[in-house]
Structure 1
Amino acid sequence: MWGNADFNLPVTADSFQAGYPATNAIDGNTATFWHTEYDPTPAQLPHQVVIDLGKRTSINGFNYLPRQDGYPNGNIGQYNLELSTDNKNWNSVSQSTWLDDQSLKLVGFPTTTIRYIRLTAITEAGGRGPWTSAAEFGINQPSTNTNLGQWGPVIAFPLVPAAAFVVPNSGQVLTWSSFLPNGYNGNGNTYTATYDPSSNSVSELDVTTTNHDMFCPGISLDANGRAVVSGGDDADTVSIFSNGWTGAGNLVIPRGYQSQVTCSDGRAFTIGGSWHGPIGGKGGEIYDPNTNSWTLLSGCPVDPMLTADVEGEYRADNHGWLFGWKNGYVFQAGPSIAMNWYGTSQSGSQSAAGNRASDGDSMNGNAVMYDAVGGKILTVGGAPDYDNSPATSNAHIITIGDPNTTPSVQTIGSMSYERAFANSVILPDGTVMVTGGQSLAEPFTDTDAILTPEIWNPATSSFTTVAPHTVPRTYHSVALLMLDGRVFTSGGGMCGDCSTNHADGQIYSPAYLFNANGKLANRPSINSVSSSTLKAGATFTVRTGANSPSFAIIRYGSATHTINTDQRRIALTPTSTKGNAYAFQLPSDSGIVIPGYWMLFVINGNGVPSVASTIQITT
């Protein structure tokens, strides 16, 4: 909860300035604040405040809102948060550093029953003096209703996670911001933070080795599971992550806000991106990992996929919805109403693929290939223009076939909410979760933020709302499927010293992870996989003790600016069964089963997914 239901809770502090007592930080009024003594003699750091909840209470989070009067003095930087049942024995649950801005700070931890909270401010965020201030403190209490899924505690990050990918095999989530933890328009370095779900910990690293500010890039995961990150603030530079960061060959055309996708032969195609570098003319180019070089494809012009954005081509070629497909082709499903095929052989090619039915331009909407074998793509939301533009709740199904043919487009029932800047994630059971966004596309704001996600079921072609999350996830937010079938969300903001920076993450556990009584369901297990390295068309065997199992593979994902070109799902049907051993054959076309790392899930007869095993599809 934000604030406190009882504003008369006992609270003590080591220091306060006359007129700014510690009780101001739990009065439910964001216009008042606690401030340590600065006149006549400033009290020295560290400073400490203890809140007595009055009785033992189960909590899983703590909130800190800095003063909101426009002055930063006293913003807490490095801190230590401790909990106690008796005000004598203390357990530290978080030691980290908060950003120096006015945004709400949230700290999550496993649900704990305590009575006392002690916050120690070790430093002042801007190094301006020895003081500490706070407009409000509050606690989060866990939800007990799991019918609509459940959100975990908010996880503090040392930066705004504006881009992210899941690291193959480890399942860690690597995120980054820019040359600053909360601001952009720099060069030469990138602040990164990695979330490890096994330890629920976050580690940070300032990447300077590639001389690349990776804010607003193109991202794709290649056939070897490496993250290829191109352009952005340093618009012609390319970095690759594989057990560490290294540089790669530069782009031919400097770009930012482009989209990028892995092709059937393992190369990476990118197009658009006039947010950075020269405006216009951002035609396609292709990266060959074997030569570590990019080649311009003169036959892949960007003009056919431009939207009619009021700001012109600076915005009109941003964030293409790209899907690698058969024979090296790429299908562009949006955000323009016009759809296109791009060929990547020789000097490239382009052919029109018709319009997206009743939809219009849908900038900052989503498109996900939820059924790769069927060539089926779900598209949702977006807005006609990038900025100050009403979002839609539109939803369509595009079914693609052979390259250079016109796909079918079906208008389906709308989402419950209009959304731009949302994210969509394919779940192991084949449903699609749409989370975050706002009904008016307005960068760097949380105006009209949508806190209630919804899940689309392909069997019924309908959307169902689920449990709301705590933090707005709008411009510069991400969402990704994790190996355990949960959904990681984070970010929003990236506007320097502003109140809408969200330097945190939160994880959603879908309803399929719970029994009807609200307790966690027993998961099926994958006992063995006959081979973890396979080619398209290969056969393999999975052993599992699950009852009435079904099977699926989902490609590892990467996300920034609503775009995740890597994720797609393939339902697997056994070719034979012998006891607990199930034999499968992968699709024979590498345009369907794109080379790279995939999550293999077993889903039992109750709909509960296993923790995924990882398989690599090679070229």
Structure 2
Amino acid sequence: MHMQLLNDDRVIIYDRTDFGPSNLTLTEDQCSRSNLKDCTAHSAEYDSITNTFRPLTVQTNNWCSSGATLPNGTLVQTGGYRNGDRAVRMFQPSCNGNGCDWVEFQNKLLQRRWYATDHALPDGRVIIIGGTKAFNYEFYPKTTPSSSQQLYKLPFLEQTTDPAAENNLYPFLFLHADGNLFIFANNKAILFDYTKDVVVRTYPAIPGGDPRSYPSTGSAVVLPLKNLELGVNVEAEVLICGGAPAGSYLKALRTRRFLPALNTCARMKITDPEPTWSIETMPMARVMSDMLLLPNGDVLIINGAGKGSAGWELGRDPVLSPVIYHPNNALESRFQVQTPSQIPRMYHSCAILLRDGRVLVGGSNPHAYYNFTNVLFPTELSLEAFSPPYMSPTNARLRPVIAEPLSNLKIKHGKHLKVKFLIDRLLLINPAWVSVTLLRPPFNTHSLSMTQRMLVLTNTSLARPRGFGKFQVNVAMPKSNNIAPPGFYMLFVVYHNVPSEGVWIQLT
């Protein structure tokens, strides 16, 4: 139900704690520390390098919760259900070898948070917005005495509530290039200054009036940010794809009528003085899909259904074929359909990018409990990897290999970095085809990738030969925390649309 890639290449995976016993047993020591009724795990750490996993001891119910990473790489995980709805859970990567596990704090949130959205901020905190009957926001950590008691109202969430859902759940949330927050709910959006608690501007609604956020669950990204050298006047575009027509949730819930999902994407440059949505048609309709930024700047659309809505057993017609969206292509040539999977990934499935460029896909459980038989879409326990076209054998010789920097380099905003890489010595390198990207891995749940962000770094000098097959490109880190909140990013060299394996960079 939830996934986060950490800066030690391990993926934290977890489900709700009240489904009953799982298929992964806790160790004897973990069981002695667990307050749950069974000694099975409801969270796991998956090592994407060694393809191994181990159980973790999440204690409070994290069903439909949210999360983000702090500047030091620690995963902060907030809210959930019943005994977990005001809890904060922390997971620190690489904490003394194999002993890392969840540390949990009860009643650290001021508001019960179920289906809320988190986002990492330029000052290192995390903002937590919305949730069931929660038309407000708060921050974590509680860095001052006043912040520990301060809950801020956000009327926009109540104003845009979908009557069918009776709540405004999992709103889309992105950090604008100017440091304000772009908040999207139902089919409307605002730009919000959380430091002054004021709405800066109101954006036009998406044409057609159909909702795009939970339970009419579409998915969304901020397209890669470019021209970062000045830290100001950076253009930002939001892309929102799929969803379900108005009324889909209630029709599926009450009458078992499953309406076709939306087959459109809406794209808007949110930095324009007078922004408007442009509408594009996808190759197929989709609800409950995931959208991931790939290292070369393309967007992957994966998972989901062709009919119905988010919610227990309310989706039909699984969409098995991933689609890649090329944002820089001409208008009618942006979508590229990929080879289909054989596994339906419906409600409560996940997808995240790994450092080697593959996409880890897992889960799918549209049922109130684990259910493996006599249902349309059984509970799915498998993980699989989707390999984008840039990983095909025909592209192997185009793939750069980063020689420097080594992983986990710390670098400050505004500093310059020399990136050395190797490439097939027989290639005639065109410097214009070389780029360097930074990608912040998101927290993924319910088709929403929280704090997902990609930056195309500015080249301060072109790639130059340093011997056969050896090259160097000099790049500048973004000057502003608003462009790149502090934390861990994956750095990639991209040549001719083919990315290298990434290395970890901590932007401080």
Separation (CA, whole Å) in 2 of partners of 1:406 and 1:219? 32
Answer yes or no: is 1:447 the counterpart of 2:298.
Answer: no
Is 1:195 aligned to residue 42 of structure 2? no
Query: Residues 167-206 of structure 1: matches in 2 within 5 Å?
Result: 167-168=6-7, 170-180=8-18, 191-206=42-57
Specify the alignment match of 1:323 in structure 2: 174
User: Tell me, which stretches of 5 or more residues in structure 2 are unaligned?
Assistant: 23-33, 94-100, 227-234, 253-258, 424-428
User: Going by fraction, where is helix more abundant, 1 or 2?
Assistant: 2
Contact 2:56 2:102 in 1 (8 A): no
Q: Which of 516, 531, 540 is 2:417 aligned to?
A: 540
Measured in 1, the distance between the counterparts of 2:151 and 2:195 equals 9
How big is the alpha-carbon RMSD for the aligned residues of Structure 1 and Structure 2?
A: 2.6
Cα deviation, residue 235, structure 1: 0.7
SS of match in other structure, 1:408 = coil
CA distance in 2, matches of 1:541, 1:382: 43
CA deviation vs aligned residue, 1:449-492 (integer Å, no higher than 9, x gap): 11111110012242111011121111111111110011111111
For the residue of structure 1 that corresponds to 2:152, the secondary structure is: coil
Matched, 1:259 2:117: yes
**Conserved 8 A contact 2:13-2:44:** yes
The amino acid that maps onto 1:206 is T
**Paired letter, 2:264:** N
- In 2, the alpha carbon distance for the partners of 1:542 and 1:337 equals 42
Question: What is the alpha-carbon distance in structure 1 between the residues aligned to residue 473 and residue 415 of structure 2?
Answer: 14
Unaligned residue ranges in structure 1 (runs of 5+): 1-161, 275-279
Match among 360, 373, 377 for residue 238 of structure 2: 377
Q: Distance in 1 between matches of 2:413 and 2:274?
A: 24
Equivalent positions of 1:293-308 (< 5 A) are 294=148, 296-298=150-152, 300-303=154-157, 306-308=160-162
Q: Which has the larger radius of gyration?
A: 1
State the distance in 2 between where 1:368 and 1:294 align. 31
- The corresponding residue for 2:480 is 589
Q: 1:188 to 1:371 in 2, by over 3 A?
A: farther
The 8 Å contact of residues 286 and 295 in structure 1, kept in 2 or not, is answered as: no
State whether residues 366 and 424 of structure 1, in contact with CA within 8 Å, keep that contact through their aligned partners in structure 2.
Answer: yes
Structure 1 residue 326 displacement after superposition: 4.7
- In the alignment, is the contact (CA less than 8 A) between 1:424 and 1:434 conserved in 2? yes
User: SS in structure 1 opposite 2:49?
Assistant: coil
| Change in 2 beyond 3 A, CA 1:307/1:188 | farther
Partner-residue secondary structure (3-state), 2:238: strand
Matched, 1:240 2:240: no
Task: Please name the residue that 1:273 is paired with.
Answer: 131
Counterpart code for 1:246: V
Please give the per-residue CA displacement for 1:418-476, whole angstroms capped at 9, x wherever unaligned.
Answer: 11111011111111010111122153335211111111001224211101112111111
The number of residues matched between the two structures is: 435
Q: Which residue of 1 aligns with 2:72?
A: 224
* 2:410 corresponds to 1:560: no
Structure 2 match to 1:456 = 325
How many angstroms does 1:343 deviate by? 2.0
Counterpart amino acid of 2:413?
A: A
Deviations 1:268-311 (A, max 9, x none): 1121111xxxxx34311122364697553435334356233323
Give the corresponding residue for 1:395.
265
Evaluate the alpha carbon distance shift between residue 443 and residue 304 of structure 1 in structure 2; reply closer, same or farther with a 3 A threshold: closer
Of residues 300, 306, 325 in structure 2, which corresponds to 1:433?
A: 300
Work out the percentage of aligned pairs sharing the same amino acid: 24
How big is each residue's C-alpha offset from its partner over 1:293-343, in whole Å with a ceiling of 9 and x where there is no partner? Answer: 755343533435623332322xxx1011001235642111x2421101222
Superposition deviation, residue 203 in structure 1: 2.0
Amino acid at match of 1:331: F
Distance (Å, rounded) in 1 between the aligned partners of 2:342 and 2:76: 32
Aligned-partner residue type, residue 476 of structure 1: H
Question: Paired residue for 2:5?
Answer: 166
Structure 1 residues 271 and 206: alpha-carbon distance in aligned structure 2, compared to 1, 3 A threshold: same
What's 2:285 paired with? 418
Cα distance between partner residues in 2 of 1:453 and 1:559: 17
Preserved contact between residue 367 and residue 378 of structure 1 (Cα < 8 Å): yes
TM-score by length of 1: 0.66
1:29-48 to 2 correspondences below 5 Å: none
User: Does the 8 A contact of 2:138 with 2:150 survive in 1?
Assistant: yes
Q: Distance in 1 between matches of 2:303 and 2:413?
A: 35
> Given that residues 287 and 295 in structure 1 are in contact (C-alpha distance below 8 angstroms), is that contact kept between their aligned partners in structure 2?
no
Matched, 1:367 2:235: no
